[in-house]
Amino acid sequence: MINAPTIILVGPMGAGKTTIGRLLSQQLGREFFDSDRVIEENAGADIPWIFEKEGEDGFRKRETQTLRTMLEEDQAPVVLATGGGIVMREENRELLKTQPLVVYLFASVNQQLQRTSKSNHRPLLKQGNPKETLKRLFAIRDPLYRDVASVIVETDSRHPKSVSNKVMEAI
Ligand code: S3P
């Protein structure tokens, strides 16, 4: 377990990637990174600003660059939470598939909706009806998360601590 490789968390908005990532980093004594926060630090701007000025495409380019940098071979193993759209680009999926420990945190659309309802920093949920958006994205992305993941953990019915324990069991 101590020598476990970088743990990469994928899944939709509201799956709990950041919460679980923090718990895992404490349990493993590892550094925790959230790709969205790394993107914001490098851009010197927040995600809504990046979407507004550079469009989703500009954000995706930054996301790919961040993923590549975080997974460079000489990096120490960390816990990495990714944005829900990380699987949209094929090059990201190819890179993720080279990684030994990609964990898909599964959450139903209703749970995603509940867990994201109070946030206002997700540009994709500000356009139109959030439930319809989450449903549409999930239909596209669920198979892609499954394609890149080596482990799937269901989060709907679990407390965060129980989710992180499940991930620890899989390591
Ligand atoms: C996105 C998810 C967000 C963030 C951006 C786009 C997506 O991350 O990367 O708003 O396309 O699903 P979280 O999954 O951490 O909310």
Looking up residue 15, the CATH number of its domain turns out to be 3.40.50.300
Q: Which domain holds residue 122?
A: 7-170
Q: Decide: helix, strand or coil at residue 152.
A: strand
Mean pLDDT of the chain: 95
Binding-site residues from annotation: 14-19, 36, 60, 84, 122, 141, 158
How far from chain centre, in Å, is Cα 76?
19
Residue 2 lies in a domain: no
Q: For the chain, what is the radius of gyration of the CA atoms?
A: 15
Residue 162 lies in a domain: yes
Instruction: Give residue 85 CA to ligand 1 midpoint distance, Å.
Output: 6
Q: For the whole prediction, is pTM greater than 0.90?
A: yes
Instruction: Give residue 98 CA to ligand 1 midpoint distance, Å.
Output: 22
Q: Whose CA is nearest to atom 12 of ligand 1?
A: 84
Number of domains in the chain: 1
| pLDDT tens-digit readout, 153-170 | 999 999 999 999 999 998
pLDDT value for 112: 97
Sign of the Cα torsion 17, 18, 21, 27 reads negative
Give the Cα-Cα-Cα angle 137, 8, 30 (nearest 5 degrees): 145
